[in-house]
A and B are shown apart, each in its own frame.
Chain A
């Protein structure tokens, strides 16, 4: 009798469990992420994962359309004076923050000031800014010291960019990321919860004031079709893939290349290629050690390396990588072949002679790489072998990412280190253009070209100068581009509105299930 009662109870619980397994709300998008973002404060954090989540909540004055051209988002438009030094930006009226407060120029001013002083990419503009003022309730005026061509691209790039917060949140904020309770933006989704180790959850914002126009890239109308966006950390890639196949997740990011053919052929999963490729970079130390100011030795190292085998080993299927020496991907207005004849020579004998001529006597060259990113490590193993064949004594030092970041800040700790870079819409945003980025490339030739590049507002002239800068990179070798890597994500076929490719970060306004 007791056994029968126990069995009945077990069957009842089982039935209840199976019922609730299927009862998943269609109003929720479940996104399997590789981990958790360090913070969602867009002004200071440049993690791509943070932007993937946060650009649903926070908006800037501009954003990018499908052709990666900047278009107004919170701005209504702008006028630029003839000398290019005064920029008056109009703001859209009727925009509300998630706390119900109306957005005015006071909020924009406070946000730009904090970004200019503490934002990750703020100094790129604010080094050229004389003053920024609210010249009306819905008007901001930037006065520049000299004309600065890339200002709108920098304003439109939300990753480490000028997200607009309420003045009450951002006034007095410093470099330390703002706390989750202050995640108040103007986007179509608002912050709801961050359960440590479980999920970050956003919910649709009823008071959202969408920009007008047909949706195009990140520009145009935005509609929040989901009630909830839930970003769930799922570190194991096998689990992310199985989760989408089982219907437990609607979208999963960062899937390795070796699964591409299988998943692309699977009708139960949609593969989403990222249109903006990431690219690996090996930085060379311009501040200390044997490579400092020895451009001939750096060119010898560059000559020794053939990038294609490393891409084959590290990434896999050919559709997911391109041995492209241009720092901008093919199809971009910034793509240029200047200097790329030196991109991937892989000539060990020539490299050996060049190294000898440069005075290299076999001293160890410290090459730092992290296993946190398998494609860094796999590529570094191939490069180390190629460099050894050319007579270089490479001391490969393998660290976790946190250790590598600390060590690369110390010029005496390394000669080469491997990292990667996300797609950026303007070359000024590439880390090698920053004189203070580890590697510390700041030669007079670079400065002269960079000054011309930033002073010009003429697109054709800027493209031509960028070609000269890229040629200089191949001549002075502050960094070596390893190739374009087209990462991809997978989605449930039930999702509609995703388009064929992801622009830079996946976005889920105008997407439904």
Chain B
């Protein structure tokens, strides 16, 4: 497994190089000039061109790319045009929110999705299954901005139980209790994802339940709960594990709507705002980090497969 892991880590290099070229080209080929955004509506073309040159954007694109790549190889993702801070620090500030939000969302997904999925599968065809499946469909269909705003209206404005928006860092005043800022957003984000996990667990368990080894286990007279947990649920987890991995990665990079509704300083909102501001170093840095994240999660999912299913061999 160690050799496999090292080999996979080496394959990151050409992939990252290709990703860096694509990201750099896409970012610079879209129209728009960060100098124009900085100077505002009243700036003249001459003033914009002057600032653009001061920031080095008048150089040929390939020179800009290699300068950037050289710095990236030394661990320097550059300086944000907008924030005047190292890109790594800007990403780090967003990463705290995104990782905590994704983790809390995963907590809800596991807490809600897995038991209901198992219940739905074990009560297959009954009224319990009908209700849980309908509930899952409803949760999957609700737009997150709509659900988020309703949760704010009920739990923040009316009841005053949770803050309506924002997220101070855990290192700010309040410390660990600042996690309360993430309860409503994580529930918002968990609703559609938990619904998908319910559907996935249910479908996988029903598939596994029809297999010969499960029939054999039942024929041996094992307790039904033991059959469900040890023989059906565990085997169904193989498909669910991959979904968990990619859901976590997606929660970090794609929670834009939820981050916007709850005004969370996360990675998703950062990348969208950076595109609107044409903050090239931040866009490039964030996308590179997301690419790395997906590749690592892909690797972890493959390793988890091997752990869950001894038939899978890693070469």
Contact = CB atoms under 8 A, between A and B. Distances in A.
Interface in A19-53: 20-21, 32, 35-36, 38-39, 44-47
Contact of B31 (A175, A403, A431): A403
A195 B172 CA distance: 12
A197 B169 CA distance: 12
Contacts of B152: 238-239, 242, 246
A405 B36 contact: yes
B270 interface: yes
A239 B36 contact: no
Interface string B238-261: 000000000000000000000011
A239 B261 contact: yes
A58 B233 CA distance: 64
A268 to B, nearest CB: 9
Interface stretch (A125-133, A217-225, A434-442, A498-506): A434-442
Contacts of B164: 239, 242-243, 246, 248
A138 interface: no
A431 B36 CA distance: 15
Contact of A198 (B32, B50, B85, B93): B93
A32 B169 CA distance: 18
A448 interface: no
Given A16-B177, A36-B273, A196-B85, A248 B163 contact: yes
A233 interface: yes
Interface stretch (A89-97, A176-184, A257-265): A176-184
Contacts of A177: 38
Contacts of A21: 160-163, 180
B265 interface: yes
Given A194-B83, A242-B152, A248-B165, A407 B31 contact: yes
Contacts of A1: none
Interface in A327-379: 372
B12 interface: no
Nearest to A46: B40
A120 B43 contact: yes
A402 B83 CA distance: 17
A197 B38 contact: no
A176 B48 CA distance: 10
A242 B165 CA distance: 9
Interface in B106-162: 145, 149, 152-153, 156-157, 160-162
Contact of A36 (B82, B161, B260): B82
A419 B41 contact: yes
Interface in A154-176: 160, 174-176
A409 B36 CA distance: 10
B40 A196 contact: no
A419 B36 CA distance: 14
Given A45-B39, A248-B164, A402-B36, A197 B269 contact: yes
Contacts of B30: 403
Interface string A403-418: 1011101000000000
A75 B156 CA distance: 47
A197 B84 contact: no
B55 interface: yes
A55 interface: no
Nearest to A120: B42
Interface string B11-55: 000000000000000000011110011111111111110110011
A434 B261 contact: no
Given A45-B38, A239-B165, A403-B30, A196 B90 contact: yes
B263 interface: yes
Contacts of A233: 263
Contacts of B80: 196
Nearest to A430: B42
Contacts of A13: 176-177
A459 interface: no
A232 B265 CA distance: 10
Contact of A431 (B38, B41, B85): B41
B54 A406 contact: no
A382 B232 CA distance: 61
Given A21-B180, A248-B163, A196 B45 contact: no
Nearest to B83: A196
B275 to A, nearest CB: 9
Given A20-B177, A245-B157, A234 B263 contact: yes
Contacts of B84: 39, 179-180
A434 B42 CA distance: 9
A236 B261 contact: yes
Contacts of A174: 54
B298 to A, nearest CB: 28
Interface in A235-294: 235-236, 238-239, 242-243, 245-248
Contacts of A20: 174, 177, 180
B277 A242 contact: no
B42 A197 contact: no
A77 to B, nearest CB: 30
Contacts of A245: 157
B43 A402 contact: no
Interface in A466-513: none
B94 A160 contact: no
Contact of B42 (A160, A248, A372): A160
Contact of A246 (B47, B51, B156, B176): B156
B262 interface: yes
A195 B266 CA distance: 12
A121 B39 CA distance: 11
A235 B44 CA distance: 28
B127 to A, nearest CB: 29
Contacts of B277: 38, 402
A44 B93 contact: no
B55 A176 contact: yes
B37 A198 contact: no
16 contacts: A17-B179, A18-B161, A21-B160, A21-B180, A39-B38, A120-B43, A176-B54, A196-B89, A234-B263, A246-B157, A400-B32, A402-B32, A407-B31, A434-B42, A434-B44, A437-B42
List 9 A-B pairs, minimum CB-CB distance, nearest first: A402-B32, A197-B265, A46-B40, A409-B45, A436-B44, A234-B263, A405-B36, A403-B31, A246-B156
Given A242-B149, A409-B48, 4 more contacts: A36-B273, A196-B270, A243-B164, A399-B31
